[in-house]
Amino acid sequence: MTRVAFWRAVVVLLPVLALEVLCRTGVIAPIMMPAPSVVLRDLVTLLASGTMNGAIVKTLGNVALACVLAIVAGVALGALIHRWPGLRETLEPLFATYYAIPVYAFYPLFIILFGLGEAPQILIGFMLAVVAVIVNTLNGLDSVPRVLGKVARVYRLGPLATALRITLPYAAPYLFTGVKLAVAYAFIGVIGAEFIMSRTGLGYEISFAFNNFDNGVMYPLILLILVIATALNMSLERWEKALLRRRGRH
Amino acid sequence: MTASPAVHVSLRGVTRVYEGSGSGRAVHALGPVDLDLLAGEFFAVVGPSGCGKSTLLEMIASLAPASAGSIVVEGRPITREVPEGVGVVFQEDACFPWLTVADNIVFGLRRQGLAAGETRRRLEDALALMGLAEFARAYPAQLSGGMRQRVCIARTLVSEPRLILLDEPFGALDQQTRLLMGDELLRLWRETGATVLLITHALDEAAMLADRIGVMSARPGRILEIVRTGWPRERDSRIVTEESFGDITGRLWRKLREESLKSMAGQPLPA
């Protein structure tokens, strides 16, 4: 373990340890929060019982769908906007203010339009994720040296082949940043939407447990979301580092 | 009576004017240039900074439009598409950083649909020729600037172009490597019979490599004089020690000195 990794573990584990002590000594009442070790034990029991399998699959499926749609649409729209400077000039200030708009404020409208099914949840995840992909695609395409465009012409590549074989691969580290953000935003969007406009999914189950004072379900599910999001992000981070190392940037 | 060599590239009245944006005035960057590149010859262009040498090369490759005049390659007027059989080496680093050295070199061959055996043979030859055999699996970021430029040269040469356009390809190399790369370039030129156009600011490089050297004026660049070196086709970097080599570089410099002074006094081109 490197020194940095050691200190990172200390930063994470120390508050958990403090919580454990506070819960075990009764400073924090069990009705407010069980000790982290109890939460972990409850999570293992919950997962082993299989009662949450449907909710887990539903949430992860919707996150994956929102994410894939955001990446495909974001890269395509980013590439399209990059080709038209006028369009970019028009849209860029809107992208800059996009995240100032609370997407959840529109949830009554989404329910009217799409009902209480999965579509509004996926749509909110998609809406949160797609602009991050567009912005990072634009940044990536800006970074492509002009000489590579000339090389593409020497090899007589058309616009699509140039994009697929030269500009997008060159911009990959930026696109990857967009993908990382898309995963995070899709999680936030889908789970957040499940809290307020769903009858299934992890967000709904947490909300349901909260309303029923069921700490034995609520805290383990919060821990589960934390573990999944952190594990995903760390995997993407490792992949990104390998990509950047290849480019000599790390 | 021997037949005169065919003309590979012909330029007539080629001019480049950068139109000023808004109220900015137009900048006459190049021309008119009249020039014939003979099939199989090694032609170098030298000139002061900003005289339009690279623009001239890009116009021949169809990478930049001419404002006036005509450019004919292998008997056909150029279009918006880079003519078939043309390879270009740029002065900037044009390696693909996401591909290994080997994948960079065969990038163009894969599009040509060559048989795997032929692709491998050309790759191995190019790696050996450029001294990159040990680095076939390395990524460009792991190489020096000079080695990356050698990758770009190899990528162009493996396609066996009939017209090779080189825009200051050795700018990133040290002097010894430039001389040795020059030897390799001469060997390839002899073996392939390709026509080579070399843009360079190094008078000794032009004098060593070329059959003929076009000396360009300060902006707007025009061909002021064409110097014939008179070297035999079988030559290498050892000719730099010959007495006539100094005569050629001296002649080039006498012509260029005044133009370079004019260029230094001039205004830079708009971006």
ipTM surpassing 0.85: yes
**Contact (CB, 8 A) for A136 and A95:** no
**In Å, how far is B262's CA from the nearest CA of chain A?**
29
What distance in Å separates the CA atoms of residue A97 and residue A119, rounded to the nearest whole number?
Answer: 25
CA distances to B3, B10, B40, B162, B233 from B6, in Å? 9, 10, 9, 13, 17
**Closest C-alpha to A23, from A36, A14, A12, A13:** A36
By Cβ distance, the residue of A154, A248, A249 closest to B88 is A154
| A·B CB contacts under 8 A | 56
Residues facing residue B44 across a β-bridge: B198, B213
Two tokens, residue A189: 């969007």
Residues facing residue B79 across a β-bridge: none
pLDDT at A5: 86
For testing contact with chain B, the best of A143, A144, A151 (most B CBs within 10 A): A151
Q: For residue B81, which residues of chain A lie inside 8 Å, CB to CB?
A: 153, 156
Two tokens, residue A240: 């990104």
Give the residue from chain B lying closest to A145, CA to CA.
Answer: B94
The verdict on a CB contact (< 8 Å) between A147 and B92 is yes
Q: For residue A147, which residues of chain B lie inside 8 Å, CB to CB?
A: 90, 92-94
Low-confidence stretches of chain A (pLDDT < 70) are 249-250
Neighbours of B48 (CB within 10 A): 24
Contacts of B197 (CB under 8 A, 6+ apart): B9, B37, B43, B44, B45, B57, B60, B163, B164, B165, B166
What distance in Å separates the CA atoms of residue B201 and residue B171, rounded to the nearest whole number?
Answer: 9
Contact of B134 with chain A, judged by CB distance below 8 Å, is answered with no
pLDDT at B259: 79
Two tokens, residue B98: 């996401």
**Closest C-alpha to A246, from B132, B100, B104:** B100
Q: For residue B142, which residues of chain A lie inside 8 Å, CB to CB?
A: 248
Residues facing residue B77 across a β-bridge: B72
Contact of A238 with chain B, judged by CB distance below 8 Å, is answered with no
Helices (H) and strands (E) in chain B, counts: 8, 10
CA distances to A35, A151, B101, B129 from B126, in Å? 66, 19, 11, 5
pLDDT at A149: 94
Amino acid at A125: G
What distance in Å separates the CA atoms of residue A250 and residue A234, rounded to the nearest whole number?
Answer: 17
Two tokens, residue B194: 């390709």
**Contact (CB, 8 A) for A210 and A67:** no
pLDDT at B180: 83
What distance in Å separates the CA atoms of residue B54 and residue B70, rounded to the nearest whole number?
Answer: 17
What distance in Å separates the CA atoms of residue A179 and residue A136, rounded to the nearest whole number?
Answer: 9
Question: A54-246 has which CATH code?
Answer: 1.10.3720.10
User: Residue ranges per domain, chain A?
Assistant: 54-246
3-state secondary structure of B230: coil
Amino acid at B146: G
Contacts of A55 (CB under 8 A, 6+ apart): A200, A201, A202, A204, A205
Two tokens, residue B257: 């000195």
Compute, in degrees rounded to 10, the torsion defined by CA atoms B194, B200, B206, B208.
-80
Two tokens, residue A31: 């009705």
What distance in Å separates the CA atoms of residue A58 and residue A201, rounded to the nearest whole number?
Answer: 6
pLDDT at B256: 85
Give the pLDDT of chain B (271 residues) as one tens digit per residue. Answer: 455 669 999 999 999 998 876 667 788 889 799 999 999 999 999 998 888 899 999 999 999 999 999 999 999 999 888 998 999 999 889 999 999 999 999 999 888 878 889 999 999 989 988 889 999 999 999 998 888 988 999 999 899 899 999 999 887 678 888 888 888 889 888 888 899 999 998 899 999 999 999 999 988 889 999 999 988 888 888 888 888 889 999 989 988 888 788 777 765 554 4
Q: For residue A166, which residues of chain B lie inside 8 Å, CB to CB?
A: 96
- For residue A79, give the DSSP letter: H
The verdict on a CB contact (< 8 Å) between B94 and A246 is no
**In Å, how far is B143's CA from the nearest CA of chain A?**
10
The verdict on a CB contact (< 8 Å) between B97 and A166 is no
pTM beyond 0.90: no
Owner of token pair 């600011």: B201
What distance in Å separates the CA atoms of residue A55 and residue A121, rounded to the nearest whole number?
Answer: 14
The verdict on a CB contact (< 8 Å) between A150 and B63 is yes
What distance in Å separates the CA atoms of residue B198 and residue B188, rounded to the nearest whole number?
Answer: 14
Residues facing residue B9 across a β-bridge: B37, B73
Q: For residue A154, which residues of chain B lie inside 8 Å, CB to CB?
A: 61, 63, 82, 86-88
pLDDT at B1: 47
By Cβ distance, the residue of B82, B139, B140 closest to A153 is B82
What distance in Å separates the CA atoms of residue B166 and residue B188, rounded to the nearest whole number?
Answer: 14
For testing contact with chain A, the best of B84, B89, B98, B103 (most A CBs within 10 A): B98
Contact of B141 with chain A, judged by CB distance below 8 Å, is answered with yes
